[in-house]
């Protein structure tokens, strides 16, 4: 059975279970514990894969004299697609009718900040190996470690040749282990989707978030299943974008119900490799960059929610300077969410509210009951962008081995 079918069946079973489970504190506490346990299992094998696969990929790209060229192409695509996605989200929200969301009382304001200085400091810990001993939430220090490891493999082949072979072997071994965990994610999806459904029932019952839920769902569907795949028509040699969309269904389901990009990375790595045929040297580099720096979906979801709040409480309307300020802030924030793999959209919204000021500092609290939905939509779009872009970059650089859909995992 294909991975996406397992994930879909697990999601359907979980939604059905969540629909009939009672909305009690005991059930919720149990599902919270199970969700954390399931997310840990999903992330379990990712760091060894990233360390050895990224290191050997960097080494191979340097041998081809393609490393910096590939990195620059990825970064340019990240910037372009971030402007596109955030811009579409903002324009759609400005055109969409809004209903006033009442203020929900909270005991205190969540203190959520992007501690950029601390994030930069952690890239170079006192002990290089300390980068590998974290909890697996902030992965960018792992990428930095793998970068220097890969660069070091090119130092002197007479010394590094045995290590290159070992690194290559370890990369393949841990990819095999990672494949096992992606095969059992269907069972884990039952827990994730059940907890998702319980929270969604509460949001629907409240009735005050319907317009925002509908708007975010429409934007995610149009972007993820329409506009983004259509851009693959511009990739040469010519490609069938719907084939790539079909090959991305597994990561899409995992991303939406987990809301965690690190949990989805193993599924992404396997699908871009085995469905799209993107060779390791391009695949791992692109996914590392996109998962760290291209959180345009999360930033867009945050911008949509912020404009929704603004329109609810400011009947004077929004002038062009306010819209541009929100768009620019969301664009910048999209590059700074590497430390927030599981709450990117809500964190971005909190930062937008705090940065705008003028009484909107606590605006994120209004959306807090549906923060999980905001995160789900943002992570879904982040993963779809990463999937399509990884394929496009691989194809443009000739790092593709075409696969038939019947061989998709």
CA–CA–CA angle 171, 266, 150 (5° rounding): 35
Tokens of residue 400, six digits? 């593709």
- The owner of tokens 């695949």 is 283
DSSP 237: S
Close Cβ partners of 103 (under 8 Å, ≥ 6 residues apart):
366
- For every residue of 316-337, DSSP letters joined together read T---HHHHHHHHHHHHHHTTS-
The set of residues, in sequence order, having a beta carbon less than 8 Å from that of 247 and lying 6+ positions away, is 271, 275, 276, 387, 405, 408
CA atoms of 77 and 59, how far apart (whole Å): 23
Question: Exposed, middle or buried, 379 (CB in 10 Å: 0-12/13-18/19+)?
Answer: buried
Q: Are 372 and 259 in contact (CB under 8 A)?
A: yes
Q: Which residue range is the domain that position 324 belongs to?
A: 3-407
Number of structural domains found in the chain: 1
CA 293 – CA 290 distance, rounded (Å) = 5
CATH number of domain containing 63: 1.10.3860.10
Each of the 409 residues of the chain gets a pLDDT tens digit; together they read 889 999 999 999 999 999 988 878 888 899 999 999 999 999 998 999 999 999 999 999 999 889 999 999 999 999 999 999 999 999 999 888 776 776 665 545 556 778 888 888 888 888 888 888 878 889 999 999 999 999 999 887 778 889 999 999 999 999 999 999 999 999 999 999 999 999 999 998 888 888 899 999 999 999 999 999 988 888 877 888 999 999 999 999 999 999 999 999 999 999 999 999 999 999 999 999 999 999 999 999 999 999 988 887 776 667 888 899 999 999 999 999 999 999 999 999 999 988 876 767 777 888 888 999 999 999 999 999 999 999 999 999 989 888 888 889 8
Residues 172, 158: Cα–Cα separation, whole Å:
23
DSSP class per residue in 168-211: HHHHHHHHHHHHHHHHTHHHHHHHHHHHHHHHHHHHHHH-SSHH
What is the distance of C-alpha 197 from the center of its chain?
Answer: 20
pTM: 0.93
Tell the residue number behind the tokens 């990712």, with chain if given.
46
């Amino acid at each position: 059975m294909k991975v996406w079918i397992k994930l879909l069946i697990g999601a359907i079973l979980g939604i059905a279970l969540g629909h009939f489970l009672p909305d009690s504190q005991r059930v919720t506490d149990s599902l919270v514990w199970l969700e954390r346990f399931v997310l840990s299992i999903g992330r379990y094998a990712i760091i060894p894969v990233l360390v050895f696969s990224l290191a050997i990929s960097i080494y191979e790209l340097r041998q081809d004299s393609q490393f910096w060229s590939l990195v620059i192409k990825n970064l340019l695509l990240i910037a372009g697609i971030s402007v596109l996605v955030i811009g579409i989200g903002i324009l759609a929200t400005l055109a969409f009718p809004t209903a006033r969301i009442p203020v929900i009382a909270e005991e205190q304001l969540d203190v959520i900040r992007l501690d950029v200085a601390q994030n930069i400091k952690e890239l170079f810990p006192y002990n290089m190996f300390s980068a590998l001993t974290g909890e697996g939430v902030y992965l960018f220090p792992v990428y930095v470690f793998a970068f220097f490891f890969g660069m070091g493999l090119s130092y002197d082949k007479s010394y590094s040749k045995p290590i290159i072979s070992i690194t290559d072997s370890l990369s393949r071994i841990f990819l095999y282990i990672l494949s096992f965990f992606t095969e059992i994610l269907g069972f884990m999806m039952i827990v994730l989707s059940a907890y998702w459904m319980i929270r969604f029932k509460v949001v629907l019952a409240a009735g005050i978030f319907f317009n925002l839920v509908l708007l975010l769902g429409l934007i995610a569907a149009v972007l993820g299943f329409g506009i983004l795949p259509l851009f693959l028509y511009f990739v040469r040699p010519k490609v069938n974008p719907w084939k790539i969309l079909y090959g991305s269904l597994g990561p899409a389901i995992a991303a939406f119900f987990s809301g965690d990009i690190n949990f989805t990375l193993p599924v992404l790595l396997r699908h871009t490799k085995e469905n799209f045929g993107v060779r390791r040297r391009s695949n791992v580099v692109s996914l590392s960059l996109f998962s760290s720096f291209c959180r345009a979906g999360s930033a867009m979801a945050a911008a949509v929610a912020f404009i929704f709040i603004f329109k609810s409480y400011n009947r004077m309307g929004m002038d062009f300077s306010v819209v541009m300020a929100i768009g620019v802030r969301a664009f910048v924030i999209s590059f700074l969410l590497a430390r927030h793999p599981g709450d990117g959209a809500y964190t971005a919204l909190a930062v937008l509210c705090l940065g705008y000021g003028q009484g909107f500092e606590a605006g994120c609290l209004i959306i807090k009951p549906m923060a999980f939905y905001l995160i789900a939509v943002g992570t879904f779009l982040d993963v779809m962008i990463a999937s399509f872009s990884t394929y496009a970059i691989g194809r443009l650089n000739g790092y593709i081995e075409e696969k038939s859909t019947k061989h998709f995992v």
